[in-house]
C-alpha cells in the first residue's frame, strides 16, 4: 500500500530539528541566566504580560519564567528524542510520533498565548516569530496525522484481504 513520502518524513525531521535547536538553546539560555531570561525584554514580554494579568509578585515572575524555560527545554528534549526515534526507524521499524505531536500541540498553545502580548505591544517582529513557530508546529502535526493515516491503511488491509462490500445491515423488512 502507500507509505508517507520521503518529503513528508524529511519535513517532519527538519521541523523537529528546528524546535530541538531553537527551543533547546532558548530554554538553556533562560535556565542558566540569573533572572531566568527576564533580562531579555524582547523574549520576556510574554512573562511580563501573564504576570500582569495574574498579578504576580517579582518572585512569581521568576517562577513563571523558570517554568516556561523548563517547558521549552522539555519540548526540545522530546523533539530530540523524536529525531533519534526517526533515525532509528530508517534502519528498521516504525517511528512513533505521538509524543512529538503532543509537544507540537503545546508549542501551538504557547505560541498563541505569546502572540497576544506581541500584538498588544505592536511588535510585528515578535509576532512574526511566534506565528512562524505556530505554523511550523501545526504543519508538523498535520504531516504526522497524514503519515499515521497512511500507515493505518497499510496495516489494516493487505493485498490478500478482499475489499468488503457495502451492505445495508439495517433494514426494517429484513427476515
Give pLDDT, residue 4. 64
As a whole number of angstroms, the distance between CA 60 and CA 36 comes to: 12
**pLDDT on residue 18:** 96
Q: Provide the pLDDT for residue 1.
A: 39
| R_g (Cα) of the chain, nearest Å | 22
Cα-to-chain-centroid distance, residue 118:
20
Query: pLDDT for 126-163, tens place per residue?
Result: 889 899 999 999 999 999 998 888 876 555 555 555 55
Express each pLDDT in 79-135 by its tens digit. Answer: 999 999 988 887 877 778 899 999 999 999 999 998 888 888 888 888 898 999 999
Which is more confident, 119 or 170?
119
- For residue 75, give the nearest of 32, 114, 107 by alpha carbon: 107
Q: How many CA atoms are closer than 13 Å to the CA of 40, on its beta-carbon side?
A: 17
The average confidence (pLDDT) of the chain is 85
d(CA 36, CA 33): 5
**pTM for the structure as a whole:** 0.79
What's the rounded mean pLDDT across residues 22-47?
A: 90
Question: Where is pLDDT greater, at 94 or 23?
Answer: 23
Amino acid at each position: 500500500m502507500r507509505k508517507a513520502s520521503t518529503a513528508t518524513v524529511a519535513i517532519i525531521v527538519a521541523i523537529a530539528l528546528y524546535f530541538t535547536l531553537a527551543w533547546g538553546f532558548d530554554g538553556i539560555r533562560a535556565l542558566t541566566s540569573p533572572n531566568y531570561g527576564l533580562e531579555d525584554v524582547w523574549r520576556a514580554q510574554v512573562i511580563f504580560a501573564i504576570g500582569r494579568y495574574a498579578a504576580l509578585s517579582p518572585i512569581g515572575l521568576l517562577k513563571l519564567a523558570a517554568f516556561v524555560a523548563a517547558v521549552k527545554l522539555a519540548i526540545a528534549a522530546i523533539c530530540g528524542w523524536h529525531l533519534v526515534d526517526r533515525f532509528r526507524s530508517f534502519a528498521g521499524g516504525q517511528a512513533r510520533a505521538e509524543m512529538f505531536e503532543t509537544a507540537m500541540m503545546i508549542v501551538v498553545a504557547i505560541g498563541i498565548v505569546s502572540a497576544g502580548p506581541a500584538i498588544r505591544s505592536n511588535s510585528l517582529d515578535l509576532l512574526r516569530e511566534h506565528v512562524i513557530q505556530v505554523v511550523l508546529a501545526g504543519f508538523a502535526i498535520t504531516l504526522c496525522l497524514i503519515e499515521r493515516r497512511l500507515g493505518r491503511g497499510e496495516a489494516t488491509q493487505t493485498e490478500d484481504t478482499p475489499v468488503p462490500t457495502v451492505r445495508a445491515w439495517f433494514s426494517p423488512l429484513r427476515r
